[in-house]
Amino acid sequence: MRLYRFLTAIDDATFCHKVTAALNKGWHLYGSPTYAYDENEKIMRCGQAVVKDVEGEEYEAGKTKLSDW
């Protein structure tokens, strides 16, 4: 199965650690990161898509917990 996640956080070390943790679990960057200004909080937010291929497993919507991989 191929899994997809979109990681988000404020633009600080939290975001970098979240992406780094995913990469160390075998996820791969998918596309470029994105940045947006949160007008309500007056901060920048980051996002990065990641994907992972898992052999021998089948995806089940509502049952496959992406953060477990």
Question: Quick one: pLDDT at residue 65?
Answer: 86
Would you say 38 and 45 are in contact if contact means Cβ atoms under 8 Å apart?
A: yes
pLDDT tens, N- to C-terminus, the chain (69 residues)? 999 999 999 999 999 999 999 999 999 999 999 999 999 999 999 999 999 999 998 888 888 888 788
Q: Report the predicted TM-score, pTM, of the whole model to 2 decimal places.
A: 0.84
Question: Quick one: pLDDT at residue 27?
Answer: 97
Question: Quick one: pLDDT at residue 66?
Answer: 85
Question: Quick one: pLDDT at residue 13?
Answer: 93
